[in-house]
Structure 1
Amino acid sequence: MEQTIRVELSTTKKEKPKTDQLEFGRTFTDHMFVMEYSDPLGWHNAEILPYQPLMVDPSSMIFHYGQSVFEGLKAYLTPDGDAQLFRPERNLQRLNRSNDRLCIPPIDEKFALKAIKQLVALEKDWIPSTEGTSLYIRPFIISTEPYLGVAPSRHYKFIVILSPVGAYYKEGINPVKIAVENQYVRAVVGGTGEAKTGGNYASSLKAQEVSAKEGYAQVLWLDGVEKKYIEEVGSMNVFFKINGEVVTPALNGSILEGVTRNSVIQLLKHWNIPVVERKISIDELHQAYKDGLLEEAFGAGTAAVISPIGQLTWNLEHLVINNGNTGELSKNIYDTLTNIQYGKEKDPFNWIEKVNEPVRVKR
């Protein structure tokens, strides 16, 4: 029997920020979803509560051993005023893959989607309507057992919070400058790179800090062993259009399988544009640039959707791509994905999940 969700409404409402003043991930809505796990009860006590601080013991294992996972997706407002999600089942499937890697008990994906939809429906008036804005959804799980010992926790909290957001990068769809990272690494095969866990992002901060001081929006990560093969750009998957063919690094155990990445690949195939997932080295990319074959480059992820790369800096050489302009393909992908997400264009892939409809079981 599926458990119910207890709802406690907030008695005070927060003031909503003006849409032209939205920063990414700074403002949060009136309510949140919380569910607990313990042995032998399993996942239980599902609640929608007023947004509030968490009460956790200082010895909770999350603070000491970093056992946590998270996801990121968005709710969009259509021209008709409906709220909808973009491929949320993919995020929840990935959350469970991350759970498995971090030894966290799996969640019921169908119930989690029901909870997210109920929370978003409750907070629908927090979804901004200005173009390019949305309601960011952050599901996450933390280990809460009060124990100083290196072992999987026996207690967890699964929480979902919501944040009205504008553009992730202030540059928007305009090209960004990226530095190729030669010193630090993001992840290695056999590590946690293909899981969405906080430690991956903590280890990326130093390189990001150094590159930001030099005027770069993010770094291009190379593999952690040979520091030769391209993996991700910042916290996004990366694509290159080389001589008419689109290339993206193949999933290898250290690269996160992005929902937007998968969507871009499906879209390119739908358009009959050649796309391949394979290993690509920074040397190969540099040679393609020298030969005049590197036509476009862009990052792909939930937060920014598509982020064109106008310049790559590697070994002090500036590789200016497409004269520093947004490429036609990058723009077409961005427009098509966002039009589907906002309900402005037909969805031929069955990607959209209406918030006010029952949860569909997709196969």
Structure 2
Amino acid sequence: MNKKSLLTGLGIGAVLGAGSFLLHDKFCKKKCEYFPFFGEGTEKDIDSSKITVQLTKNPKKKKEDPNEYGFGQYMSDHMLEIDYIDKKFTVPRIVPFHDFPMHPATSVIHYGITAFEGMKAYKDSEGKIRLFRPMKNMQRFLKSARRLCLPDFNPEELLKCIEKLVMIEKDWVPEKKGFSAYIRPIIMGTDQFLGLKPASKYKIFVIISPVGSYYKDGMKGIRLYAQNEYLRSWVGGTGGNKLGGNYAPTLLPTLKGFEKECKSVLFLDKEGKVTEAGAMNCMVIWENENNERELITPSLDDNTILPGITRDSILKLSKESGQFDKVTEGDITIDQLVKAHKENRLFEVFGCGTAAIVSPVIGFKYEGKTYDFAKDGKLGEFTLYLYETILSIQHGETEHEWSHLIEEQD
């Protein structure tokens, strides 16, 4: 098959239905003769040394009380943009924050060709800016882009560009402990074409949003609505990648959870295995059936679980803590949780992620029954330990290799 025939087939497939042509992840990781713009076909990678800066002439007014920022409602003055055109990345540019004009046939609108990341910048007691394990975010960002057959980029060079943006916007990083500036890198296909095919043009952009404390009213536990009517992910799907299309379908089950007085959803697969808690990884502390104190979280093996940076950090800290007989990545079923609850072996459950670090769970509802396990709403000691430990590392109070100090730049 020649390139013209394959592209024609892809276009026809899009007309018949987006599901009629599937590009497998393994295929997308290879250099493809039909799509020389993918991966190794990139002729010019991101070059952070050539970044250009255009400062705004109309800076925004900052809030005196950073709690007024909430989450994701306010944006900083500048943004980073990098385009990919004709097999080449353009010169990275930091420009005043602005809207995008978009052609109605742009591929990201029609087929969701977009991936994103979520990371934070923190200010330490000396006013220096720190990131938390940022290279892990960049590596995951690249993995997600590959799942959508987008061209490879150099994650180290992209991180250098992001650091430059963060330092320009350092006054937008709140000074208080527990506060931060949320960094959102996005990659999206920008082809103007109604057929379904891997994008030949795309844009990377990064925006920054100052955010208040996630627990401004104190850390309170939530109850989860456990269900498998609506699946978040499945084997062979994209649950292990941070793609825009993974998140909108979770809104409906979340609303159904609200109706049952649950703040979030415990997503199960059709066999009743736990996948994630809302948009967070799920952690369980119990005494397993072998009478071992265990911290367990669903495995990444089948690519249904997002490889969270906070998740990975908690697993490492838990192993180092010496508080568990076992720290496990493996299957957890809802039946096991119910049984452990009935036998008083279920000690702590929490979600974890960039936004909250940890989100304590006080119980769950399943098939019309409520299973509460946090006595008097009291939060788990190890959950609190993890929150305080990671927060201390993020703000540079505890010296740790995970805390990435951004050097002052010219």
Q: TM-score, normalised by structure 1?
A: 0.94
Aligned to 2:53: 7
Q: Secondary structure at the match of 1:336?
A: helix
| Structure 2 residue 163 is matched with structure 1 residue 117 | yes
Per-residue CA shift, 1:241-288, capped at 9, x if unaligned?
Answer: 012210111112111000000000000111123310111100011101
* Bigger share in helix: 2
- SS at 1:69's partner residue? strand
Letter in 1 for 2:328: V
Q: CA deviation at 1:20?
A: 2.5
Higher relative contact order (CA 8 A, sep 6+): 1
Amino acid at match of 2:315: I
Cα 1:271–1:336, aligned 2, differ >3 Å: closer, same or farther? Answer: same
What is the alpha-carbon distance in structure 1 between the residues aligned to residue 172 and residue 306 of structure 2? 30
Q: Can you list the C-alpha shifts for 1:160-181, whole angstroms capped at 9, x where unaligned?
A: 0000012446765321111112
SS at match of 1:203: helix
Q: For the residues of structure 2 that align with 1:212 and 1:35, how far apart are their CA atoms?
A: 40
Q: Does 1:216 align with 2:253?
A: no
- Secondary structure of 2:199's aligned partner: coil
Question: Which of 18, 26, 32 lines up with 2:73 in the alignment?
Answer: 26
User: Is the CA contact (8 Å cut-off) linking 1:172 and 1:307 kept in structure 2?
Assistant: no
Separation in structure 2 between the aligned mates of residue 332 and residue 155 of structure 1, nearest angstrom: 46
Q: Contact 1:4–1:46 at 8 Å: present in 2 too? A: yes
The question of whether the paired residues in 1 share the 8 Å contact of 2:268 and 2:276 is answered with yes
CA distance in structure 1 between the partners assigned to 2:342 and 2:216 by the alignment: 30
1:26-175 matches, cutoff 5 A: 26-41=73-88, 43-168=89-214, 173-175=219-221
Superposed CA offset, 1:37-93 (max 9, x none)? 12232x223100000001221111000010000000000010111110000000000
Aligned to 2:405: 354
Q: Map residues 266-277 of structure 1 onto 2, 5 A cutoff.
A: 266-272=316-322, 273=324, 274-277=326-329
Q: Which residue of 1 aligns with 2:281?
A: 237
CA distance in 2, matches of 1:157, 1:319: 46
Please report how far the alpha carbon of residue 126 of structure 1 lies from its aligned counterpart in structure 2 after TM superposition. Answer: 0.4
Give CA-to-partner distance per residue, 1:156-207, whole Å, 9 cap, x none.
0000000001244676532111111231111111111111001100111111
Aligned 8 A contact 2:177 2:395 in 1: no
After superposition, residues 251-266 of structure 1 pair within 5 angstroms as 251=300, 252-266=302-316
- Residues 345 and 321 of structure 1, relative CA distance in 2, 3 Å threshold: same
> Which SS does the other structure have where 1:255 is aligned?
coil
Q: Give the match's secondary structure for 2:90.
A: strand
Pick the aligned partner of 2:299 from 244, 250, 263.
250
Q: Secondary structure at the match of 1:112?
A: helix
Q: 2:352 pairs with 278, 300, 323, which one?
A: 300
Q: Which segments of 5 or more consecutive residues in structure 1 lack a partner in the other structure?
A: 359-363
Change (3 A) 1:275 1:102: same
List 4+ stretches of structure 1 deviating above 3 A.
167-172
C-alpha displacement of 1:211: 1.3
Aligned mates of 2:304, 2:191 — CA distance in 1: 28
Could you tell me which residue of structure 2 aligns to residue 206 of structure 1?
252
Q: CA deviation at 1:209?
A: 1.6
Is the radius of gyration larger for structure 1 or structure 2? 2
Alignment RMSD = 1.5
User: Number of matched residues?
Assistant: 353
Give 2:379's aligned amino acid: T
Instruction: Check 1:68–1:172 CA distance in 2 against 1; reply closer, same or farther (3 A cut).
Output: farther
Residue 19 of structure 1, CA deviation? 1.1
Q: Is the 8 Å Cα contact of residues 67 and 211 (structure 2) preserved in structure 1?
A: no
- The answer on whether the counterparts of 1:133 and 1:167 sit within 8 Å (CA) in structure 2 is yes
Is residue 326 from structure 1 mapped to residue 376 from structure 2 by the alignment? Answer: no
Quick one: percent identity of the two aligned structures?
38
Quick check: 1:211–1:217 contact (8 Å CA) kept in 2?
A: yes
**Residues 1:343 and 2:396 aligned together:** yes
Amino acid at match of 2:274: I
Segment drifting more, 294-303 vs 206-215: 206-215
C-alpha distance in structure 1 between counterparts of 2:408 and 2:241, whole Å? 30
Residue of structure 2 in register with 1:288 after alignment: 340
Greater shift, 128-137 or 113-122, is seen at: 128-137
